[in-house]
Structure 1
Amino acid sequence: MSQLWQWFVDLIEAGLELSRSATGSAGLSIILFTVLVRLVLLPLTFSQTRSMQRMQALQPEVERIQKKYKNNPQKANEAIMQLWRENNVNPAAGCLPLLIQFPILYALFIAFRDFSIGSFLWIPDLGKPDPWFVLPVLAGVTTYFQMKTSMTTVQPQQRTMLVLMPAMLTFFAWSFPAGLALYWVTSNIFSIVQQVLMNRRPAPAPAGKGKAGHERGVS
């Protein structure tokens, strides 16, 4: 293990110990730690959400392009990608906040080998798999709804991720420490609430040059 990675794991362990000293509970310490992580990631999540909202605002133009080039899918894809670039839209933005948490999950998995973990609610030991498989199911269900609420439009490639990602998380949580599943469920719930609140805000208007630039690029 590299020195940098060990430093990251040590930082995770320190965060868990700090949150447990504040809560007096192993389970609550993981929940508090998760909330702190999500607050740190909030600026990135906000940026990605605005990108997805711009994609929604551009959907009528995307549909117009698809209709115009219905006999030339390659040309339609090029025009749509150009439109998205001009408006700073990333079609994979909805999945990015999920993907960047995987290093944190792996660091938690390593940290839990040394971190003294206790019981929480129905779980006798958060360092072992949930004996009732409640958290693995919740991990999959909340992952699905987290991704669903973050997708303003669902592209074909996103439909695959919408099924594959929750299934993967359920499978992993089935055999991994319950503390990891608790982290993921808490993170998903945080994301869902955050997304619902952000969706109430008006979407940013597309760049004024978007349509004109598109017309110049594909005409």
Structure 2
Amino acid sequence: MGVVNVMDQLMLNIVVVAEAANPGLWGSFVNFLANVLQLINNITNNYGLSVVLFTILMRLVLLPLDLKARASTKKINELQPLLKEINEKYKYDPDKRNRKTAELYQKHGVNPLGGCLPLLIQIPIFFALFAALRQISSMELGSFLIDVIKHHDPSIIPVLDQITKAVESSSAIKQRMVDIIPQLFIRTDLPIVDQMKEIAGAENVSLLLEAIKNISNQEIYSFLNAQYGAYRFLWIKNIWIADSPLVSVVGRPIELFSNEWNGLFILPILAGVTSYYQTKLANASSGNQQTSGFTAIFPILSVWFTAMYTAAFGVYWVTNNIFQIIQQIVYNRTNSPKGEGVKS
């Protein structure tokens, strides 16, 4: 589980930097994405399907920019013979070479940076989506586990309410109970436990920890099936936990492929395969033969990201890859090379 925390912290640090740059705008954008996803889920009542539809919606919104970038890249590729001539002719005169190159781009209406625009837009969207999924994940998983505790032992409800009130009114603890509870289901020897005991009373916190300890994975799974069908998606039992046979539906470490597994590592495998194919298609389309290293590394990173984070994030990643693969195939077929390059 340590690797999960490292990955989560890395992504969170990037999100924090973005938020610090413009907290109002960033927070509004993250909340907007979260609200759109929640709105879709109100219709589908299944978070996995909602993430699929949300991803497709985002890709459709970006489609005009993406097509414009592809057209720009295609023009630049067609200009390569002329660019090569300029480079050869003025290789000892950099100023004139740059001027002639700029004139060539201007003559043919090409923006050499046009192909970067969708990527520049997608980077903040990616991290905002990560933040939105993290926000929803914390709220949903925490609320679910609080309901599990109350269902397991109704007598603990007043104690839990007292702890919640004390924690969320304290300036010493920066987390909400919905963020803390999932951590306590995995480990109870956390520094925050001592802080909770100081502000909410050691006896109250001990009663809560004992209640959590007595809740079995099977009881949680049964409650999930009975009350939280929106969390299930295909083979995944809880969309807010990693698609892994090594963790239970609340993220507790378990023996490999025990009957309490949350997933089967299918999403990470799909992420790796689709990332490899999508990257290979994109490189072939652009005529770039110098990215074999990236073609190999990116699928590995995709597997790592989707294995370490929530299944909801994995569903987004795989859906995004599949959409881009289909888009690339359609684009290649409708914009196949027609022979000669551009003439000066």
TM-score (norm 1): 0.75
Q: How does 1:10-49 map to 2 (within 5 A)?
A: 10-49=31-70
Deviations 1:31-76 (A, max 9, x none): 000111011101111111112222343355466678x57x98x89x
For structure 1, the residue ranges without an aligned partner over 5 or more in a row are 213-219
Q: Secondary structure at the match of 2:60?
A: helix
- Of 81-90 and 4-13, more deviation after overlay is shown by 81-90
Report the equivalent of 2:177: none
Report the equivalent of 1:152: 286
Aligned-pair CA distance for 1:155? 4.3
Matches of 2:99 and 2:297 in 1, distance apart? Answer: 29
TM-score (norm 2): 0.50
Deviations 1:93-128 (A, max 9, x none): 3x7645643333322333234423712111122212
Report the equivalent of 1:52: 73
In the alignment, structure 1 residue 125 sits paired with structure 2 residue 259: no
- Of 47-56 and 32-41, more deviation after overlay is shown by 47-56
Deviations 1:64-95 (A, max 9, x none): 678x57x98x89x96996556754164883x7
User: Which has the bigger relative contact order, CA under 8 A and spacing at least 6?
Assistant: 1
In the alignment, structure 1 residue 200 sits paired with structure 2 residue 324: no
Which amino acid in the other structure matches residue 144 of structure 1? Y
RMSD: 3.5
Matches of 2:320 and 2:294 in 1, distance apart? Answer: 18
- Of 37-46 and 104-113, more deviation after overlay is shown by 104-113
Q: Is the 8 A contact 1:55 1:91 kept in 2?
A: no
For structure 2, the residue ranges without an aligned partner over 5 or more in a row are 1-18, 141-229, 245-263
Matches of 2:58 and 2:324 in 1, distance apart? Answer: 12
Which amino acid in the other structure matches residue 287 of structure 2? T
- Of 98-107 and 16-25, more deviation after overlay is shown by 98-107
Matches of 2:107 and 2:297 in 1, distance apart? Answer: 30
Q: How many residue pairs are counted as aligned between the two chains? A: 205
In the alignment, structure 1 residue 167 sits paired with structure 2 residue 188: no
Q: Percent identity?
A: 37
Matches of 1:199 and 1:80 in 2, distance apart? Answer: 30
Aligned residue among 294, 310, 317 for 1:184: 317
Which amino acid in the other structure matches residue 152 of structure 1? S
Aligned-pair CA distance for 1:30? 0.3
Larger Rg: 2
Report the equivalent of 1:215: none
Matches of 1:80 and 1:173 in 2, distance apart? Answer: 46
